Amino acid sequence: MKSTLKRTWAEIDLDALDYNYQTIRSHIGAKTKFLGVVKADAYGHGSVQIASRLQELGADYLAVSSIDEAMELRFNGITMPILILGHTPKEQVDRLICFNITQAVTCKAKADEYNAEALKYGGTLKVHIKVDTGMSRLGYLCNDEHFDSGIEGIVEACQLPGLQAEGIFTHFAMADEEDSMSQAYTQKQFALFQNVIHAVETKWGQTFSLHHCANTGATVDHPETYLDMVRPGLLLYGYGTHAKKWHLQPLMSLKTVVSTIKVYDPGTHVSYGGIYTTNKKTRMGVIPYGYADGFLRSLSNRCQLMSVDGPVQQCGRICMDMAMIDLTDKWNVKVGSEIEIFGPHRSLDDWAALAGTIPYEIVCAVSKRVPRFYLQSGKIISKELLLRM
């Protein structure tokens, strides 16, 4: 780890995670279960570390995207319930059952495949039924003329002997948006979901143990959608407008150092394509942070980072492994000086807005060669590098 300590690194504040979890808990109430979304390596924060802490804090469920993500957690001491939101090949059903992993079922074909494999294995697969209420992605289609056939398909899946239908859920497409059209669409989705639940449970003659639909936006703005369990994603990590509403704290700070400083004459072209040319004698620093680390190339010549002497402009095209910053008149910034990419002095939300994207993409883009340092009470308690050593 010494070789990467003073290159580019991410600091993950576990105290902020504790605070965010407890704050969200205080809003949703003691009777509502908490599902922590830790897919995509916990949005770039490190799924094992985040999941371990959520398990200690008393979260009820975790969600991942794939069986590989689930198995990583199981092999690293995570024993709490895990729901796979995405596709799992039928050949992996035996592993799902063996390691007590819950699988989303999104259509008749999947239900039939999983049931057949579970019976072949001699076990029962725990599943949550996914309903498409307007996301138009995965799930049983139940809107308008598809309602009756959708209900019939879900009930059929719930009655399959190899499946244990523990839960039913849907996903809101516009709950993170605050305009009136989006809010109305969310209410329409929620009303349809409630109608589906009532129709399925009436026809099935049983009740699901878990009904859930509240993502980040709904958790903050639509408490009526809590049902049995909420699924905060980005909210848990402290980013976005909804996190600000509840005064949540960002977990990640991304930092780098100045590796080289050179002084260029006026008229010097900088980096690929010469899209930046110095207009004066310029003290230029090189930082070991490039698009292979997650520095979006589209930000070339457009962004500022934070130094001890204040903001510094990025100059020229961002390279794969490095980028250049203007240190003219920043005399306290020397070789080895720390530069904040985003963190307490440079908001990730502002950084994402500048890139024309969302905070999710920025944190997920932080590559595996960037080590994560986990802090508690201001001290590093653990380090993780995802490269094979």
Rg of the Cα atoms in the chain: 24
Q: From 32, 82, 95, select the one nearest 55 (Cα to Cα).
A: 82
What does residue 263 show for φ and ψ, rounded to 5 degrees?
-110, 125
* CA 119 to each of CA 116, 162, 300: distance values in angstroms, whole numbers, following the listed order: 5, 5, 55
Active site residue: 39, 126, 130, 255, which one? 39
**CB-count exposure of residue 71 (10 Å: 0-12, 13-18, 19+):** middle
Which one of the listed residues 120, 245, 262, 272 is annotated catalytic? 272
Structure tokens at 153: 């398909």
Catalytic annotation present for 272: yes
C-alpha closest to that of 218 among 230, 204, 202, 206: 230
The answer on whether 320 is annotated among ligand-binding residues is yes
Alpha helices in the chain, H assignment, sequence order: 2-5, 14-28, 39-43, 47-57, 67-74, 93-98, 108-121, 147-158, 180-204, 216-221, 234-237, 241-245, 348-355, 359-365
State the alpha helices, DSSP H only, in 205-276.
Answer: 216-221, 234-237, 241-245
Query: What's the burial of 266, exposed, middle or buried (CB within 10 Å: 0-12/13-18/19+)?
Result: exposed
Asked if 35 and 10 touch (Cβ cutoff 8 Å), the reply is: no
Structure tokens at 55: 């398990």
- Sign of the torsion formed by the C-alpha atoms of 51, 209, 170 and 21: negative
Task: Give bridge partners of residue 31 from the DSSP assignment.
Answer: none
379 tagged catalytic? no
Q: Which residues pair with 68 in a beta bridge?
A: none
Residue 154, SS3? helix
Q: 């010549």: which residue's tokens?
A: 301
As given in the structure block, the two tokens for residue 213 are 């639909």
Per DSSP, the three-state class of 230 is strand
The catalytic site residues sit at 39, 272
> Residues forming the annotated binding site for substrate?
137, 320
> Residues forming the annotated binding site?
137, 320
